[in-house]
Amino acid sequence: MAEHIVDLDTWPRAAQFRFFRAYAQPHYATTVRIDVTDLMQVRKGQGVNVYRACLYAIGAGLHAVPELCMRFRGDDVVRHDRIALSMTVPTQAGAFNYAYVPFAPDFSAFDAQCKSLIAAAAQTSALGANSGQRDDVAYLSCLPWLDYTSINNALPGPDDCIPRVSWGKIVPRGDGWDMAMTLEVHHALVDGAQVGAYFDAVQGALDGI
């Protein structure tokens, strides 16, 4: 997974990057409703795993927006070609571990690898937390017990620029189904336009599975 230095002399967001980079609390979270009607009423009956389909759609959304694959290198910025998805995996002991799944644009390939890596993480006793050795990841967490309206995450400090994605309980809505999904980002890298593009891409990926 290659990374590329972002040219701050030509990057349109360079001024915004420098402005928000100095903030003590630079993160913000946006929650929207995602339509999962086709996933629940059609694709689930065809054998598609709903949870892994959501993981795939999140990965597609992240990779559709270059800024969501950008990370700090001191005063510089790099962009990863491809990032992995790191999700919480429940264990039989009632705790959780972390799995790391490389994203693949092909749903079938992603689904098979995702299933295997999640199963392996559920069987290990090691937490597998990222201690900062890599930033080519995004952190994902599902809350299937809650149809929430807003959420934010525990963050180690203002230098953490790894996106966090959460999503909640799938609930009936009218003639269909939907769920809450939250994207939490660092404002030095991501504005509202990029957040909107992410959610559009997630919806498109879900509809296209």
DSSP annotation string for 161-197: ---EEEEE--EEETTEEEEEEEEEEETTT--HHHHHH
Q: Does residue 90 surpass a pLDDT of 70?
A: yes
For residue 14, is pLDDT > 90? yes
Q: What is the pLDDT of residue 37?
A: 98
CATH superfamily assigned to domain 24-208: Chloramphenicol acetyltransferase-like domain (3.30.559.10)
Confidence of residue 85 (pLDDT cuts 50, 70, 90): very high
Is residue 86 within 8 A of residue 140, CB to CB? The reply is yes
The answer to whether residue 182 scores a pLDDT higher than 90 is yes
Q: How confident is the model at residue 125 (pLDDT cuts 50, 70, 90)?
A: confident
Two tokens, residue 163: 């996106």
> Which amino acid would we find at residue 100?
Y
Extents of the domains making up the chain: 24-208
Instruction: Tell me the mean pLDDT in the region 178-192.
Output: 98
CB of 53 closer than 8 Å to CB of 59: no
Query: Nearest to residue 89, comparing CAs of 142, 144, 130, 11?
Result: 142
> At a CB cut-off of 8 Å and minimum separation 6, what does 50 contact?
36, 39, 40, 44, 170
Query: Higher model confidence: residue 192 or residue 128?
Result: 192
Average pLDDT for the chain: 95
Using CB atoms within 10 A of its CB, is residue 60 exposed (0-12), middle (13-18) or buried (19+)? Answer: buried
What is the number of other CB atoms lying within 10 angstroms of the CB of residue 66? 15
Residues in the chain: 209
Based on the number of CB atoms within 10 Å of its own CB, is 2 exposed (0-12), middle (13-18) or buried (19 or more)?
exposed
Report pLDDT for 1.
Answer: 65
Tokens standing for residue 34: 């995602």
